[in-house]
A and B are shown apart, each in its own frame.
Chain A
Amino acid sequence: MVNPIIKLENLNFYYGVVKALSNITMNFNRNCVTAIIGPSGCGKSTLLRLLNRMNDLIDNTRVEGKVEIDGKDIYSNNVDPVEVRKKVGMVFQKPNPFPKSIYKNIAFGPKINRLARGSKLDDLVEESLKAAALWDEVKDILHHSAMELSGGQQQRLCIARALAMKPEILLMDEPTSALDPISTARIEDLIEDLKEKYSIIIVTHNMQQAARISDFTAFLYLGQLIEYDKTEKIFTNPSNKKTEDYITGRFG
Chain B
Amino acid sequence: MDKNPIRSHYDDKLNHIKEQLVYMAGLVEKSVEDAVKSLITSDSDLAKKVIEGDDEIDLLELKIEDESIKLLALRQPAARDLRFITTAIKINAHLERIADMAGNIAERAIKLSTQPPIKPYIDIPHMARITQWMIKTSLDAFINEDPALAEKVRNEDQKIDKLNEQVFRELITFMMEDPKTITRAIYIMGISKNLERIADHAETIAEMVVYMVTGKSVRHQREK
Contacts and interface: CB of A to CB of B under 8 A. Distances in A.
Interface stretch (B4-12, B33-41, B45-53): B4-12
A247 B79 contact: yes
Contact of A248 (B79, B215, B216): B79
B82 A235 contact: yes
Nearest to B77: A248
Contact of B79 (A208, A238, A251): A238
A236 B79 CA distance: 4
Nearest to A243: B79
A248 B81 contact: yes
B197 interface: no
Interface string A201-213: 0000001100100
B6 A251 contact: yes
Contacts of A208: 76
Interface string B71-90: 00000111111110000000
B4 A250 contact: yes
A249 interface: yes
A237 interface: yes
Contacts of B81: 248
Interface string A80-100: 000000000000000000000
Contacts of A211: 78
Interface in A205-231: 207-208, 211
Given A236-B215, A237-B215, A249 B79 contact: no
Range of interface residues on B (Cβ < 8 Å):
10 to 19
B78 A235 contact: yes
Interface residues of A, number: 16
B82 A250 contact: no
A139 to B, nearest CB: 37
A121 to B, nearest CB: 44
Contact of B78 (A247, A251, A252): A247
Nearest to B211: A237
Interface in B80-107: 80-83
A244 interface: yes
Nearest to A250: B4
Contacts of B6: 249-252
A236 B83 contact: yes
A56 B10 CA distance: 43
Given A235-B78, A236-B215, A250 B83 contact: no
Interface in B177-216: 215-216
Interface in B3-31: 4, 6-7, 10
A103 B77 CA distance: 43
Given A237-B79, A244-B80, A249 B215 contact: no
Contact of A236 (B4, B7, B10, B82): B82
11 contacts: A211-B78, A235-B79, A236-B82, A236-B215, A237-B79, A237-B215, A237-B216, A238-B79, A247-B78, A250-B7, A251-B6
In the complex, the 7 A-B pairs of residues with the closest C-beta atoms, listed nearest first? A237-B215, A247-B78, A249-B7, A235-B78, A244-B79, A248-B81, A250-B4
